Amino acid sequence: MLWSTRIIIALSLGAASVAMADDDRGAVLFQESFDNADLAKRGWYDLNAVRIAGGAHAGPGCIEYEWASAEAGVQGSSPARRLFPPTDRVYLRYYLKLSDGWGWSGRSYHPHLTHFLTTENGKWHGPAASHLTLYIEPVAGKLRLAAQDIQNKDQPHGLTQGPIRGGYNGRFYDSKDVLFRDDQWHCVEAYFQLNTLDRDRDRPNADGVVRGWFDGK
């Protein structure tokens, strides 16, 4: 993100949907249009501010997050959570727009935008250190899909998302090219499928799936 006291930087999320995938692809777990600020009435929680802006990809509104300066932190809308039935395969689609003048922080892990957390953790658990967190986010203009499971270090099957490095672990899958380079709406899609377990050998199988699309490609 570009920190400036003169330029307002905004990130907007448009219509979003979460569904089961493959043979269950038609089973929508939930969808959200962000047409108005009544998110709590539609099952969202752990939020204290919602700003709905115009100029949405579809419908009358979209949710907006703004950074006016480094000291101010995020403004406009706060982070929010949404529960849905557990599944071992999940597909996400949403529309994302970055404002004119948007820049990047230069940090290799920034900004964290959208996550899936496992039900092995509670509904209030933070995403940074869990039994499994999946990430879908733009980083330095590229689309990143990632996963970490640092809390599994003492579990019988151990870590599945790489070794611990400097207090974190994770596997990162970045797009080859820079994709977020303008102030237009773009469609972001992601699909995750959990790996299965080889119970005879007491270890995880390497059959998990991670896929991502940007504007359908």
Residues 97 and 183 sit within 8 Å (Cβ to Cβ): yes
Classify 182 in phi/psi space as left (phi over 0), alpha (psi -120 to 50) or beta: beta
pLDDT exceeds 50 at position 4:
no
Greater confidence (217 vs 205) lies with 217
Residues 75 and 50 sit within 8 Å (Cβ to Cβ): no
What is the third-level CATH fold of 9-69+78-214? Answer: Jelly Rolls (2.60.120)
The tens digit of pLDDT for each residue in 139-166 reads 999 999 999 999 999 988 788 899 999 8
Apex 214 CA angle, 59 and 128, nearest 5: 90
Tokens matching residue 11: 């990130």
The tens digit of pLDDT for each residue in 106-138 reads 788 878 889 999 999 999 999 989 999 999 999
Pairing, β 142-148 against β 171-174 = antiparallel
Q: How many Cβ atoms are within 10 Å of 207's Cβ, its own excluded?
A: 10
The tens digit of pLDDT for each residue in 50-77 reads 999 999 998 899 999 987 765 667 889 9
- Ranges of each domain in the chain: 9-69+78-214
What's the rounded Cα separation, in Å, for the pair 140 and 109?
Answer: 9
Residues 177 and 142 sit within 8 Å (Cβ to Cβ): yes
pLDDT of residue 170: 94
Return the top range by mean pLDDT from 68-72, 105-109, 193-197, 199-203: 193-197
pLDDT exceeds 80 at position 10:
no
What's the rounded Cα separation, in Å, for the pair 202 and 214?
Answer: 37
The tens digit of pLDDT for each residue in 22-51 reads 555 568 888 999 999 999 999 999 999 999
pLDDT of residue 149: 95
Tell me the DSSP string of 8-62. -EEEEEEEEEEE--GGGTT-EEEEE---SS-TGGGTEES-----EESS-SSSS-E
pLDDT tier for residue 173 given thresholds of 50, 70 and 90: very high
Q: Please give the model's pTM, rounded to 2 decimal places.
A: 0.88
pLDDT exceeds 50 at position 216:
yes
CB-based burial of residue 162 (10 Å sphere; 0-12 exposed, 13-18 middle, 19+ buried)? middle
What's the rounded Cα separation, in Å, for the pair 9 and 66?
Answer: 5
